Amino acid sequence: MVLEIRRDFHEQLNELYTGLLRMGSDLLETIERTRLCFLELDHIAADAIIAGDAVFDDYRDLLEEAGLELIARQAPVAVDLRMIIVIMRAAQHFERMADLCEDIATAVKHIPSEYLSTWIREGIDEMARRAIRLVERSIACFKERNVEMAMELDALDDAVDKLNRMFFKEFDRGREEDLEVAIRVVMIARFFERIADNAVDIGEHVRFMVEGTI
């Protein structure tokens, strides 16, 4: 009977695990669509990204409910308990990243479709690509339970932070850009920077899952 209960527990835990990976895969696709939405100033794509945000709310709610039920019914300990906690925390971070994609799409809708300087396009695109790589690596380090990879995320995030600061400096230097567009661009840079930050946080949770330290 105990063996049957444990088998059932691990089946449920695996469902929770695969559910988070599906959420992560969908999120990566959404961030990439958001990157292209900005580059092309595609207002129709922006509407689709905004409309799709509810999917990630549902993902988060389902994973949190399933995780809490698993803890209540099975009383897991040690690594299993930490893994469930980290899955629920990672789901929260994924949902926040999806919210940031929605914020970027909303900002794009307020930028005239014919307007974007080359240096803005290139800078934001570089930030977006680096943020996507950070999210990919955060998912990989979770799958592999790789603490070393998790610790490397901080250094990768530094490049995103540097690019984010660049936009403030460029506008401070008196770049001749429309004020409203400049504000939107700074916001979008900040949102991509926050996506990268959430990926770093997932790495911290992976360290907790593996080592049991906060």
**The domain spanning residue 149 has which CATH number?**
1.20.58.220
User: Does residue 132 register a pLDDT over 90?
Assistant: yes
Question: What per-residue confidence (pLDDT) applies to 6?
Answer: 60
Question: What per-residue confidence (pLDDT) applies to 185?
Answer: 87
Three-state secondary-structure class, residue 146: coil
Q: Which of 162, 167, 160 is nearest to 197 (CA)?
A: 160
Q: Residue 202 has which token pair?
A: 């997932």
Instruction: Give the residue numbers spanning the domain of 144.
Output: 2-211
Question: What per-residue confidence (pLDDT) applies to 166?
Answer: 80
- The model's confidence at residue 116, banded by pLDDT at 50, 70 and 90, is confident
Give the HSE-up count for residue 5: Cα atoms under 13 Å, Cβ half-sphere.
Answer: 7
User: Does residue 140 register a pLDDT over 50?
Assistant: yes
Sign of CA dihedral 148, 80, 99, 24: positive
Q: Residue 17 has which token pair?
A: 């695990």
Q: How many domains does the chain have?
A: 1
Question: Which range is least confidently modeled, 56-60, 127-131, 155-159?
Answer: 155-159
Question: What per-residue confidence (pLDDT) applies to 1?
Answer: 45
CA-CA distance, 143 to 8, in Å (whole number)?
21
Q: Residue 42 has which token pair?
A: 């595609």
> What percent of the chain is predicted at pLDDT more than 90?
59
CA-CA distance, 79 to 121, in Å (whole number)?
44
Question: What per-residue confidence (pLDDT) applies to 25?
Answer: 96
User: Does residue 175 register a pLDDT over 80?
Assistant: no
Average pLDDT of every residue of the chain: 88
- The model's confidence at residue 182, banded by pLDDT at 50, 70 and 90, is confident
